[in-house]
Structure 1
């Protein structure tokens, strides 16, 4: 039987949140060591793939499935039912993140959304795994969730993408200093041993 979603992950999902810090923390500042990721200039998006199709949920619980039809279709095509991802939807224009173009995609009806998807296609950067093969993964440490996510992402094609991560503070510092030109807002830092802190500022 094809996997279904855990009951707590079938609808709007409480996302993990981050708190602001003044400087890049040292490598051992969080349980299990720090894992550094780019902070994308986009909209937070939970992807839930079940046997009936895919749903895209915003951070505040709005259904954005028809707003980004190219992402919804890619999830149906490339994700196994029973999968829930956390990530960011973004639009690239001339090699730079274009938040303005992303905002123009909001609030469109299905026909208009399809036309805008053709003119300003979106991409999805997945950075966490909440469920796999119908099993809730939020209790697992981040490193284990990441390992499972990388396995899932091995066969992905755009517009689905795996957000990069490093445990090297020097590499993270280079990202912080150089990626801003492309529109990256900063860094998100997670603990390698941390479970998914739903609804909390645990990152």
Structure 2
């Protein structure tokens, strides 16, 4: 299943826990409750998953966004009201070493084994999974009300690969696709529009961002290239180049055109 949260990698180091966003940014301060729970894992474990926040029985993307954009002190306050969960999709390493080359079926068994050693209940949980197509269809149809975005189909024999892979496919309720942010117009602290690299490789400029989405993008941008670094979208529009790492969802129906509609930050 696919949840509505923030992609997060948990590193259990020798004497601490580090949480990392998809971009590589350290987000431990935003998800300190998960870091504390991760201390119960054996050193050397690296987990790939999604940090989610449940509000009134439903996974809330807005609550996860608020947590991610907050200062460490504010994030602790939010955690007291609505603790986070880390829904684990995959395992990259164990105390015995790197397991990314192993087939997903084996990695899934390793996930269940390592999480079985955590105190119960734990906010670090394995994502629900099945090899029964009918069960997956029931989940897809019935769990949307609880904030589950859809399902992810993975090839059981595939090794772990970072980024996009032909061995897995998202099946969402919303007709959206992921696009990489390669730049923006306006100021870094208040971007007007985004230059997004679409799945077909084209770079297109988005429609003007609303105030709330612009603030979320500004908080999520890892870094900005020097002002002299400029790029051009497929339609000829100029933009300031941004460092890679940030993904956004765009409406799939708009990707055929020169201007796309951004729905949210991934």
TM-score, normalised by the number of residues in structure 2: 0.60
Is 1:147–2:109 an aligned residue pair?
Answer: yes
Instruction: Please name the residue that 2:183 is paired with.
Output: none
> Structure 1 residue 164 and structure 2 residue 123: aligned?
no
Q: Distance in 1 between matches of 2:159 and 2:23?
A: 21
- In terms of Rg, which structure is larger? 2
- Contact (CA 8 Å) 2:41, 2:117: kept in 1 or not? no
Runs of 4+ with >6 A deviation: none
Pairs within 5 Å for 1:28-47: 38-47=1-10
Determine whether 1:193 maps to 2:193: no
1:5-29 CA distances to partner (integer Å, 9 max, x unpaired)?
A: xxxxxxxxxxxxxxxxxxxxxxxxx
Whether the 8 Å contact between 2:33 and 2:79 is mirrored in structure 1 is: yes
CA distance in structure 1 between the aligned counterparts of 2:34 and 2:72, rounded to whole angstroms: 13
Q: Find out whether 1:99 has 2:61 as its counterpart.
A: yes
Structure possessing the higher relative contact order (Cα contacts under 8 Å, 6 or more residues apart):
1
Q: Take 1:195 and 1:94, find their aligned partners in 2: how far apart are those partners?
A: 37
**Over aligned residue pairs, what C-alpha RMSD do you find?**
1.1
Q: Which residue of 1 aligns with 2:77?
A: 115
Q: Secondary structure at the match of 2:28?
A: coil
SS at match of 2:112: helix
Runs of 5+ consecutive residues of structure 1 not aligned to the other structure: 1-37
Q: How far did residue 163 of structure 1 move?
A: 0.8
1:110 CA drift (Å):
2.3
Report what 1:60 is aligned to. 23
| Structure 2 counterpart of 1:184, from 148, 152, 161 | 148
Alpha-carbon contact 2:11-2:19 (below 8 Å) kept: yes
Residues 58-90 of structure 1, C-alpha deviations (whole Å, 9 max, x = no match): 1111111011110011001x2100000011110
Q: Name the TM-score, length of structure 1 as normaliser.
A: 0.78
Q: Which structure is higher in strand share?
A: 2
Q: Give structure 2 stretches of 5+ with no counterpart.
A: 169-266
